[in-house]
Chain A
Amino acid sequence: MENLVLQALSGLASASSLFLVASGLTVIFGVSRVVNFAHGSLYMLGAYLAYSLVTTLPRGHLGFWGGVIGAAVLVGLIGLVVEVLLLRRIYRAPELFQLLATFGVVLIVQDLAQMIWGPQDLLGPRAPGLRGSIEIVGMRFPLYELFLIGVGPVVLGLLVLLFHRTRWGTLVRAATQDREMVGALGVNQRMLFTSVFFLGSLLAGLGGALQLPRESVNLHMDLAIITEAFVVVVVGGLGSLTGAALAALLIGELHAFGILIVPKITLVLVFLVMALVLVVRPHGLLGKPEAAARGGQGSAEPVIGPAPPALRWLGLATLAVAVVLPPFLGDYAVSVLTELAIAVLFAASLHLIMGPGGMASFGNAAYFGIGAYGAALAAQWLGAPMLAGLALAPLAAGVFGLLFGYFCVRLSGVYAAMLTLAFAQIAWSVAFQWVEVTGGDNGILGVWPSAWAAPKLVYYYLALALCLGATLFLRRVVHAPFGYALRAQRDSALRAEAIGIDAFRIRWLGFGLAAAAAGVAGGLFAYGKGSVFPTYMGIPRSVDALLMVLLGGVQTLSGPIVGALAFTGLQEQLVRITDLWRLILGCIIVLLVLFFPQGLAGAARARWEARHGDA
């Protein structure tokens, strides 16, 4: 019993910290509609800066609390600079492009933090005056945790006052609903957005700084918190402060008690909850439909036409090189090429959902991983030969794609994307924790190709043929009636319904098809590597796919191909030549977003059209 009380209290403390970060994220999203991946980085910077300030300033109350507040303000200013230099320029860009830009910032901050503070974990001092513990129901409870429990409600109260009792707050709430109208009434949206970013970033920094006495400061804090913060924001309803508070409470307590009841489930618990909430309430607990928010006038997406002849020749030339060159290369280079071919198909599968389908997926790696595991499990437990495994991969991925997609495609925008992420995390945790079957973290080893395909070169040609075939098939699909229906529902679900297209069915099938294609890629990857691991389904791999598609350009069919080649090639090269590959990659991404908002292939097409007049 006593234990439960303490557990509930520590759940409250986590909820409080989580709320600080999530409130900043939700406020920023509400006004600017930017899905700010870099919010976790700001949190991490808050912790690092607090460490530096608190350890440099004289010890005592002033030094500690001054350091914490100072760190929060500094992070607010950093957020302000990011907004002015980067985000302000891309508010009119598609939502996902902004996400890409903020992801570039994540990479940059990771390397900068490592350069400044080093790779080792840093342990900050305890908070003066709150070092001890007090007795609650006969057990000891740390004072600092008690203090944190108080911080959340106080911050919530202050924010509510700010938003409901000041002119600034009224303007922000109005802009959350219709920022263009607010501008037409004479309000300088830029100043408003910048100030909102300052506030949101400050809250993230404060959340990070307050962790100092609680846990060590390290380079993984950013991604660890950002997923949780997103879950809280989405479960609460995007843009809703009270929703975020409720969701933080829910997630905090679930964490605390989940550990007691089913220790194994903690990794996935939050995602299970998110999936459940979104299935029942498509806009989170207290969210409003996204469509209500208006921005600038969105222009219609360009029509995808068949490839112009020049592009076709370029493609054929690339293909010729891909066929002719490998026999003259070493095994390592051939493996890299195999991975490139697989990356192309992986990106093309995501592109089908994002481009023609008009939905973002943050969890495409799930289907890649399910394909890989399908093949590996069949080999391990049934002794299936390679070809059977490769056939099973898309089947397994397709079935799960249809299953998960059934729920995901009903939602829209960020909610849909977050639900795909939730399912991917659930799949990941099954692979990670069902040790008896999947080998858990150790993965499944010895998934080798059949003897005839064992030479790297032969396997490369097999992979090339399958990936190329599947990618061309996806291209074909986009130009088939199914593809037109898919795009029709993207452009206007209502109008599509009016001409007899069942939007749900089309999206659902598209999702399943994309999953099956990702499964092919996953199966090939498994046999190529000879092993599978839970990381195949991890968030980083899903993010890779997103980066490839966005870099290439969402609205061109060659986009995913260009993007996959550019991204995989770039990363491969950067990792080899420098330790700072994240910094460089991040800068490249940011510059690309700023100067080629249509992606690489999109930019190439725009130039081509400008030169030749549009066909």
Chain B
Amino acid sequence: MLSVSGLSAYYGRAHILDDVALDVGPGEVVVLLGRNGAGKSTTMKAIMGLVPPAAGRVRFDGAEIAGREPFEIARRGLGYVPEERRIFTGLSVLENLEVGRRPPTAGLRPWTPERLFALFPSLGAMQDRPGGRMSGGEQQMLTIARTLMGNPKLILLDEPSEGLAPVVVERMAEAIRALKAEGLSILLSEQNLHFAQAVSDRATIIEKGRIRWSGSIADLLAADEVREQYLSV
């Protein structure tokens, strides 16, 4: 589905990503793990074209997308859920969803506001509320829902559990499992190993902009020294 290799990216002159490679298969949930500043968000932005990749290949759904513009990449069925959420604060919940709306994708059940409110019930209760007057958890759900309105085949989900209360994290995990059950592929970025292992099939560890380890969740749980070296704070 998504296959990244040799990806490198810069902010100005600072070399942030070096030779990053990862894969996400159809219907698979892969988690990108790493400490603060490891390069998780930058990897996602580079895949999405928000940070222009300086080198490397990004293949998505059979086509090369590196160097394309974000809107073209999104139209091919790649959804992006930013870490900072970036809700349109002046727009209501329904209007936020409207911005994300795109035509249905063959083979996937099209998303509608009603279906999304079933997935995130708390959103349904505040359809006309401006995005600026929602809690962090509600905004996190809205930003995911907004991206789903584009009927993506794969979503890049950047630290969805960040700053959320444990109950809300639990609900987020359920939502992600529901999305996986719909057949959606997901590349997740996380620091929260507990959350990650609850929803992911495979893990990739990034540190200082390089991939250090890849394998199944079960392998990662068995590899104490890997977790010790790259994930403990």
Binding site for B on A (CB under 8 A): 167, 170-171, 173-174, 176-178, 180-189, 292, 294, 297, 299-300
With A184-B50, A184-B70 given, is the CB distance from A177 to B90 under 8 Å?
yes
- Taking CB atoms, residues of chain B closer than 8 Å to A300 are 12
- A170-B98, A184-B74, A186-B71 are known; give 10 further A-B pairs, CB within 8 A: A170-B95, A177-B90, A178-B86, A182-B99, A184-B80, A185-B99, A186-B100, A186-B150, A187-B71, A300-B12
CB-CB contacts below 8 Å: B68-113 with A = 69-71, 74-75, 80, 82, 86, 88-91, 95-96, 98-102
Q: Establish whether residues A170 and B99, one from each chain, have CB atoms under 8 Å apart when the complex forms.
A: yes
Chain B residues in 8 Å Cβ range of A189: 71
B88 engages A173 (CB within 8 Å): yes
Taking a contact as CB atoms closer than 8 A, the residue among B71, B89, B100, B147 that contacts A188 in the complex is B71
* List of B residues within 8 angstroms of A170 by Cβ: 91, 95, 98-99
In the complex, what residues of A have CB within 8 A of residue B86's CB?
178, 181, 294
Whether B51 sits at the interface, judged by CB under 8 Å, is yes
Taking a contact as CB atoms closer than 8 A, the residue among B51, B69, B91, B96 that contacts A183 in the complex is B69
* B57 adjacent to chain A (CB < 8 Å): no
B188 at the interface (CB under 8 A from A): no
Give the size range of B's interface with the partner. Answer: 20 to 34
CB distance from A314 to the nearest CB of B (A): 27
Task: Report chain A residues within 8 Å CB of B48.
Answer: 184
User: Cα distance A174–B51 when bound, in Å?
Assistant: 21
What residue of chain B has the Cβ atom nearest to residue A299's Cβ? Answer: B12
For the complex formed, measure the closest distance between the CB of A89 and the CB atoms of chain B, giving whole angstroms.
15
List residues of chain B with CB within 8 A of the CB of A299.
Answer: 11-12
Partner among B51, B69, B95, B146 whose Cβ is within 8 Å of the Cβ of A185: B146
Report the Cα distance A189→B49, complex, angstroms: 14
The answer to whether B88 touches A185, judged by C-beta atoms less than 8 angstroms apart, is: no
| B147 surroundings in chain A (CB, below 8 A) | 185
A286 to B91, CA, bound (A): 16
Q: Which residues of B contact A187 (CB under 8 A)?
A: 71, 99
- The distance from the CB of B13 to the nearest CB of chain A, in whole angstroms, is 9
CB neighbours (8 Å) of B51 from chain A are 297
A185 to B102 alpha-carbon distance, docked (Å): 9
CA distance A317 to B100 in the complex (A): 60
**CA of A174 to CA of B90, assembled, Å:** 8
Contact A185–B12 (Cβ < 8 Å)? no
Chain A's closest residue to B49 (CB) is A184
CA distance A169 to B100 in the complex (A): 14
- List chain B residues, Cβ under 8 A from A174: 88, 91, 95-96, 99
Pick from A184, A187, A188, A299 the residue with the most CB of B within 10 Å: A184
B98, A186: Cβ atoms closer than 8 Å: no
CA distance A188 to B147 in the complex (A): 16
Q: Is the CB of A297 within 8 A of B75?
A: no
Please, which residues of chain B bring their CB within 8 A of the CB of A184? 48, 50, 70-71, 74, 80, 82
Q: Are B71 and A173 in contact (CB under 8 A)?
A: no
Residue on B nearest A301 in the bound complex, by CB: B12
Chain A residue numbers with a CB within 8 Å of B82 are: 181, 184
Inter-subunit contact B91/A185 (CB<8 Å):
no
Which 7 residue pairs are nearest across A and B when measured between Cβ atoms? A186-B74, A299-B12, A174-B88, A174-B99, A181-B86, A183-B70, A183-B71
How far apart sit A174 and B89, CA to CA, in the bound complex (Å)? 9
